[in-house]
Amino acid sequence: MFGIGFEEFLLIIIIAILFLGPDKLPDAMVKVARFIKSVKKVMSDAQHTLENEMRIADIKEEALGYKKQLDEATNELQSFKNHKINPTQEIDNAIQGAKNSFNQIDVSSENIEIKRETVTFKKQSSSSEDNI
């Protein structure tokens, strides 16, 4: 039980009977049993709390590892990023360049040739349609 043998347990019972007497002994045994039960419950709760804390610590450590990997990846991506380029400015420059090149095109009627060509497609017959 608590590391005591039968002989020690018997000695404790004899001493308890001598000090308490046979009429108070049952009440004392009930109180001792309740005390032992409450101590076991407290120890069990403490053990569960410790296990939960250890699990939370493991989860926290894993989350910190993921955060570190994410920070490293973010820093690596930021090293490739060029902060001096403004994407909206690039689009505006491209639109302005297209307008300038369009304005330089001569659209007079003598330079334009109109060609009309038609394209027809023939449907290939499959072997299953031939058999029908």
Q: Which amino acid is at 51?
A: E
Please answer whether residues 16 and 25 qualify as being in contact, where contact means their C-beta atoms are separated by less than 8 angstroms: yes
**Which one has a higher pLDDT value, 79 or 107?**
79
Ramachandran sector of residue 115 (left: φ over 0; alpha: ψ -120 to 50; beta: rest): beta
Interval 28-44: pLDDT, tens: 888 888 998 999 999 99
Q: Would residue 52 count as lying in a domain?
A: yes
Q: Would residue 112 count as lying in a domain?
A: no
Q: Would residue 56 count as lying in a domain?
A: yes
Mean local confidence (pLDDT), 113-120: 64
Q: Would residue 115 count as lying in a domain?
A: no
d(CA 57, CA 107): 74
Q: Would residue 43 count as lying in a domain?
A: yes
Q: Would residue 59 count as lying in a domain?
A: yes
> Where in the sequence is the domain holding 75, given as residue range(s)?
22-79
Q: Would residue 73 count as lying in a domain?
A: yes
Looking at the structure of the chain, the number of domains it has is 1
Whether the model clears a pTM of 0.75, i.e. scores above it, the answer is no
Residue 117 has pLDDT above 80, yes or no: no
| Poorest-pLDDT segment among 22-26, 57-61, 81-85 | 81-85
Q: Would residue 40 count as lying in a domain?
A: yes
